Amino acid sequence: SGPDTVSPTGQPTGADQARFAQSGSYLTNAQGTRLPDTDHSLKAGPRGPVLLQDHHLREKVMHFDHERIPERVVHARGAAAHGVFQSYGTAASVTKAAFLAEEEETPVFVRFSTVLGSRGSSDTVRDTRGFATKFYTSEGVFDLVGNNMPVFFIQDAIKFPDIIHAGKPHPDREIPQAQSAHDTFWDFVTLHTEATHHTLWNMSDRGIPRSYRTMEGFGVHTFRLVAADGGTTLVKFHWKPKLGVHSLVWEEAQIINGVDPDFHRRDLADAIEAGAYPQWELGIQTFPDTPDQTFEGIDLLDPTNLVPEELAPVRPVGLLTLNRNPSNFFAETEQVAFHVGHLVPGIDITDDPLLAGRLFSYLDTQITRLGGPNFPQLPINRPHAPVNDMLRDGLHQTAVHRGVAPYRPNSLDGGCPFTAGADTGAYIESPVRVPEATKVREAPESFADHFSQPRRFWLSMSPVEREHIIGAYTFELSKCYEQAIRERALQVLANIDPALCAEVAAGLGLPAPEPTVPLADVAPSPALSQVGQSWPTD
Ligand code: HEM
């Protein structure tokens, strides 16, 4: 589409000028003044010194000097696309969120990412993948900031800086870049055994997806849905790829790392450009909102737990289609700011202590990353619903606010009268009872079982998936320098399953320890095996 506003000479003007940079018939400086030459500095003679008075040279180089912004502290490397979410309207009985309850079409922006590597790292490393979706709903922005694995390493956000410090490259040598094969990672996950489940997912084929288009996505935490009648339901969100779930094998991943480090990024962009639009169905697992917030003995506030689909089926509620590539990586993919606190009426949070920390962390980091508090005004972050806030001024303020009374009620500006009932339909926290309690720094007893769920995952794998898991643990642990860490990792594996431990121990040339916990009697969950999901769903 052409510029909205065009000058008599055919130049886009105003805000459009920036959007259509390089489209004008003549070159200007940042102030719109025509320039005759941008290839030569102003000098005292052709071989003489460059003059300090060259204001164009200074502007051009100054701007270049400030092109980079800090990369995300995690999930720095990503790729994104625009699309639409078509709701089936099937969630109406459990949520009043219009974009789910009605058969509405909602614009979306989705960013996929690796977690640990820096912005320029390779795509096909063994890592968790981010799957973050911004829904520009008619009731405000809703962000579903999830991963391609349904569980997380830790149960309390206060440990997040620690697990990330352990997973990022060693502070002395800055290696390894973006892979889990190093001492600090294994040191952490074997000393904090709540990480066992997520680590097992990482060592499975899920850690090396074939494509972003063939990954599942998960909201991980349990959220709370609020229906029109005020009734509440606990929920876990799932994205199911229409192409099925597919992974690389380790040898492929390693070769691709060298041959095409942009493999996933290229695959997503090429598919969309070719009209092969990737699609995911959004599904929900719902649970009664009971005071103990458990389901079939599973603590729903513990993000290291999943609920097997055999116990709570995933009900489809809408279809996501990615159909447009970003036109500017920096403006869209880099400047997009997701936040688990971007919620709409009908979707609320629970007391998951990991979620609580995230509610603080995202806004906080974005103030640094995006240079001040006004990043919601960046085009990619702007809600499509009307905004009538009372936030004013600040670094990089681009709005020219009208009126004199940014407070309410007020008797000066017509736009903000206090009208009883005017806020009907607004975001209202669900009136959940907070337990009477004493201040403590401790985890509940129900967070203490770190091995039953990993055991269920292991027992659900097909023979070839098990072979890959054994290979992954053996490879990654063989890269540790510290023997004691390898031995501790084997102890963790013995507590998942002695057969898994024995195979990895043999590969490492170490004795296999006995389990130190009773092995849980858990039924396999066929839905966890990728084999059952490796074909298109229609
Ligand atoms: C970024 C997911 C836990 C802090 C991200 C992104 C995803 C994500 C997908 C990338 C967003 C993008 O593409 O821009 C998750 C999931 C978690 C989790 C699924 C657990 C269930 C945490 C915790 C913290 C945290 C516990 C901190 C206490 C951050 C930060 C960023 C980030 C600081 C960078 C955000 C930015 O610069 O815009 N996370 N995360 N995350 N996450 Fe998390």
pLDDT digits (tens, 9 = 90+) for 396-418: 999 999 889 998 888 888 655 55
Which segments of 347-431 does DSSP mark as H helices, in order? 353-369
- Residues that are catalytic: 75, 147
Which segments of 85-135 does DSSP mark as H helices, in order? 98-101
* Per-residue model confidence (pLDDT) at position 426: 87
Is the pLDDT confidence value at 301 over 60? yes
- Asked if 345 and 117 touch (Cβ cutoff 8 Å), the reply is no
CA-wise closest residue to 287 among 100, 430, 94, 434:
94
* Per-residue model confidence (pLDDT) at position 421: 56
pLDDT > 70 in the chain, percent: 92
- The pLDDT tens digits for 165-191 are 999 998 888 888 766 678 999 999 999
Which of 113, 197, 237, 358 to mutate to test ligand 1, by most ligand atoms within 8 A of the CB atom? 358
* Average pLDDT score, the chain: 93
Q: How far is CA 327 from the centre of its chain?
A: 21
- Asked if 156 and 354 touch (Cβ cutoff 8 Å), the reply is yes
ipTM of the complex: 0.96
Residue the block writes with tokens 């490796």: 534
Q: Does the Cβ of 159 fall within 6 Å of ligand 1?
A: no
Is the pLDDT confidence value at 536 over 90? no
- The pLDDT tens digits for 334-347 are 999 999 999 999 99
Enumerate residues 6+ apart whose C-beta is below 8 A from 102: 87, 89, 92
Is the pLDDT confidence value at 16 over 60? no
- The pLDDT tens digits for 319-377 are 999 999 999 999 999 999 999 999 999 999 999 999 999 999 999 999 999 999 999 99
Closest CA to ligand 1's atom 9? 130
Is the pLDDT confidence value at 20 over 70? no
Which segments of 14-69 does DSSP mark as H helices, in order? 14-19, 55-65
Rounded to the nearest whole angstrom, what is the distance from the C-alpha of residue 114 to the centroid of ligand 1? 11
Residue count of the chain: 538
Q: Which atom of ligand 1 is nearest to the CA of 219?
A: 19
- The pLDDT tens digits for 76-119 are 999 999 999 999 999 999 999 999 999 999 999 999 999 999 99
Q: Does the Cβ of 339 fall within 6 Å of ligand 1?
A: no
* Per-residue model confidence (pLDDT) at position 165: 96
Q: Does the Cβ of 337 fall within 6 Å of ligand 1?
A: yes
pTM of the model as a whole? 0.95
* Per-residue model confidence (pLDDT) at position 74: 98
Q: Which atom of ligand 1 is nearest to the CA of 220?
A: 21
- The pLDDT tens digits for 193-250 are 999 999 999 999 999 999 999 999 999 999 999 999 999 999 999 999 999 999 999 9
CA-wise closest residue to 263 among 275, 280, 247:
247
Enumerate residues 6+ apart whose C-beta is below 8 A from 18: none
- The pLDDT tens digits for 448-498 are 999 999 999 999 999 999 999 999 999 999 999 999 999 999 999 999 999
> Residue 25's pLDDT band (boundaries 50, 70, 90)?
confident
> Residue 535's pLDDT band (boundaries 50, 70, 90)?
low
* Per-residue model confidence (pLDDT) at position 425: 80
Rounded to the nearest whole angstrom, what is the distance from the C-alpha of residue 382 to the centroid of ligand 1? 20
Residue the block writes with tokens 């130190």: 516
Beta bridge partners of 233: 225, 288
